[in-house]
Amino acid sequence: MDARWMLRRVYGADHDDPDPGPRPGRAYVELVGGALDGLLLDVTGWTDQDLSAGAPLVTEVGRYGPGGRVVYAPRPGDAGRWDWQADIPG
């Protein structure tokens, strides 16, 4: 696991989780830009097709508030980073 990720928060971790960071043996991508900038997304077990498609992620802090989603997609040439694409309603 990349050492720079050890102090980072994983998307979906509870705000009161005493250890919201990455876990050994899991695979992560870094979310870049948008409402979830800097968070890690656990992609353990995702297929190549899932990984290439990106993901709409539920968030309360995007343009559409609670229930809204932010879309992230893999950065061309850097599979470890997913770039923000859009905010969409839930």
Q: What is the pLDDT of residues 16-51, one digit of tens each?
A: 888 888 999 999 999 999 999 999 999 999 999 999
Using a pLDDT cut of 70, give the percent of the chain over it.
92
Using alpha carbons only, give the angle 59, 65, 66 rounded to the nearest 5 degrees. Answer: 60
Residues 6+ apart with CB under 8 A from 50: 43
Q: Where are the domains of the chain?
A: 3-88
